[in-house]
C-alpha cells in the first residue's frame, strides 16, 4: 500500500479480496503496509484487479512456495517481545532446562542455575513424544504446574511442547512459548491449533525438512494471525552418524536471507552426546543464531530421558561464559 494509506482504503482492499473468494493477511509495519492475497487460485487472478484500487502502490506475486514467512511479505526482521525478553533482536536468548520435567526439585535447581548464568527462558517437557510407546510419557499438567512454580520463583519465561491439538489449551495456559517438535513439523492440525492459541510458537525443523517445507509449515501458523513464530534448527538426518543428527549450521544465513523470522539452534538434540554440545552451541552463536535451547540436568546420569546429551550445571556455567565472549565478538550480547 502507499505511504499514508487510510484505514478505509485498507478495508476496501480487504473487501475486494473477500469478494473474489480469497483470504488476506495484513502486515502493517511502521514504514510499510502489505496485504497478502491468499488462496489456491490466486495464480489465475490478474494483478490489475487490485492495482486500480485506491491506496494500492504495487501488486506483486511472491514466487516462493512460502508466503507469509518470506522476506517478500515482510522486509524487516520479526522481533518477538515476550515480557521483557526480545527474540530476534541484538540479544542472543538462551533457553535452558531438562528434557523432561521430572520433579519440582529438579526443575527449581535447573531454573536457578539458568537464571544465574544469564538464560532468559526455562525449557522442560511435560508432554513427551517418545519413539517407543513403552517409554516415559511425561508428567502432563502436573509438569506444567512445576514449570509455573519455577517461573514464579525466578521470573524466567517458560517454553514447553504441545504434542496434540488436545494439549494446546492447557499448555497455552502455562507456557510463554509453545514448542512444536520436529516430528510434528508437518502436523497441520496442530500447527493450526497453536496458531489459533495466539501464543508465541517455537517451530522445530523436521529432521528431514527442506527450507521450503519448514517455512511453509511456519505459514500454517502465521495465517492464523499469529505472527510470533521462532524457527529452531535441531539437526538433520544424514548418512553421517558420528553425531546423532547433523547440525545444519549453514541454514542460519539462508533463513536470514529468505525469511524475516528469528532462528535459534538446539545443539543438544543435534549432538546426542554432552561432550559435543558446547561446540555446537558456540558454532550456532557464531553463525548468527538468535538464541539457543540447551538441555541441562542436575544429575544427567539419572535423567529419565536424554541424559546422554544433557549438560551438568558446571559444564553449562563454563559454556555460558564462552558464549558471552563469542556473542560479544560478533557485536551481540547474552
Question: Distance between CA atoms of 76 and 27, rounded to whole angstroms?
Answer: 11
Nearer to a copy of itself, 28 or 210 (CB): 210
In contact, 43 and 22? CB cutoff 8 Å:
no
Stretch that binds a copy of itself, among 1-9, 86-94, 246-254, 294-302 (CB under 8 A): 246-254
In contact, 1 and 33? CB cutoff 8 Å:
yes
* Near a copy of itself in 158-187, by CB under 8 A: 163-166, 183-184, 186-187
Among 73, 276, 313, 316, binds a copy of itself (CB under 8 A): 276
Q: Long-range contact list for 3-10, CB < 8 A, 24+ apart?
A: 3/31, 3/57, 5/33, 5/55, 6/55, 9/53, 9/54, 9/55, 10/35, 10/55
* Near a copy of itself in 68-127, by CB under 8 A: none
* Other C-beta atoms lying within 10 Å of the C-beta of residue 77: 14
Question: Distance between CA atoms of 37 and 68, rounded to whole angstroms?
Answer: 10
Rounded to the nearest whole angstrom, what is the least distance from the CB of residue 71 to a copy of itself in the complex?
Answer: 14
Nearer to a copy of itself, 66 or 174 (CB): 66
Among 89, 118, 288, 307, binds a copy of itself (CB under 8 A): 288
Among 49, 108, 279, 308, binds a copy of itself (CB under 8 A): 279
The yes or no reply on residue 3 touching a copy of itself (CB under 8 A) is no
Q: From its phi and psi, is residue 162 left (phi > 0), alpha (psi between -120 and 50) or beta?
A: beta
Among 151, 199, 282, 297, binds a copy of itself (CB under 8 A): 282
* Near a copy of itself in 14-43, by CB under 8 A: 38-40, 42
Among 35, 247, 311, 319, binds a copy of itself (CB under 8 A): 247
Rounded to the nearest whole angstrom, what is the least distance from the CB of residue 175 to a copy of itself in the complex?
Answer: 18
Rounded to the nearest whole angstrom, what is the least distance from the CB of residue 325 to a copy of itself in the complex?
Answer: 4
The yes or no reply on residue 241 touching a copy of itself (CB under 8 A) is yes
Count of residues for the chain?
334
Distances (CA, A) of 108 to 76, 155, 252, 318: 38, 12, 32, 20
Amino acid at each position: 500500500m502507499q505511504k499514508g494509506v487510510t484505514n478505509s482504503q485498507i478495508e476496501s482492499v480487504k473487501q475486494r479480496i473477500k469478494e473474489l473468494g480469497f483470504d488476506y493477511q495484513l502486515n502493517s509495519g511502521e514504514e510499510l503496509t502489505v496485504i497478502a492475497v491468499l488462496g489456491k487460485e490466486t495464480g489465475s487472478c490478474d494483478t490489475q484487479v487490485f492495482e486500480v484500487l485506491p491506496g494500492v502502490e504495487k501488486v506483486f506475486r511472491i514466487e516462493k512456495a512460502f508466503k507469509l514467512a518470506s522476506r517478500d511479505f515482510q522486509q524487516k526482521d520479526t522481533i518477538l517481545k515476550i515480557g521483557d525478553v526480545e527474540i530476534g533482536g541484538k540479544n542472543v536468548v538462551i533457553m535452558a532446562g531438562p528434557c523432561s520435567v521430572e520433579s519440582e526439585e529438579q526443575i527449581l535447581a535447573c531454573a536457578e542455575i539458568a537464571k544465574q548464568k544469564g538464560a532468559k527462558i526455562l525449557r522442560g517437557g511435560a508432554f513427551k513424544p517418545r519413539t517407543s510407546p513403552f517409554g516415559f510419557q511425561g508428567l502432563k499438567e502436573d509438569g506444567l504446574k512445576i514449570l509455573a512454580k519455577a517461573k514464579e520463583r525466578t521470573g524466567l519465561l517458560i517454553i514447553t511442547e504441545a504434542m496434540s491439538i488436545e494439549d494446546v489449551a492447557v499448555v497455552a495456559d502455562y507456557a510463554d512459548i509453545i514448542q512444536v517438535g520436529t516430528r510434528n513439523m508437518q502436523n497441520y492440525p496442530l500447527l493450526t491449533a497453536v496458531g489459533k492459541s495466539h501464543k508465541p510458537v517455537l517451530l522445530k525443523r523436521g529432521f528431514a525438512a527442506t527450507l521450503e517445507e519448514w517455512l511453509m509449515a511456519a505459514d500454517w501458523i502465521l495465517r492464523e494471525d499469529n505472527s510470533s513464530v521462532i524457527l529452531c534448527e535441531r539437526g538433520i538426518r544424514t548418512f553421517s552418524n558420528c553425531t546423532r543428527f547433523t547440525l545444519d549450521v549453514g541454514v542460519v544465513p539462508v533463513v536470514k536471507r529468505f525469511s524475516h523470522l528469528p532462528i535459534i539452534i538446539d545443539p543438544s538434540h543435534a549432538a546426542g552426546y554432552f561432550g559435543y554440545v558446547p561446540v555446537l552451541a558456540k558454532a550456532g552463536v557464531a553463525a548468527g543464531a538468535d538464541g539457543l535451547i540447551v538441555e541441562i540436568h542436575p544429575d544427567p546420569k539419572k535423567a529419565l530421558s536424554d541424559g546422554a546429551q544433557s549438560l551438568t550445571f558446571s559444564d553449562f556455567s563454563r559454556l555460558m561464559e564462552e558464549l558471552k565472549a563469542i556473542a560479544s565478538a560478533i557485536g551481540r550480547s547474552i
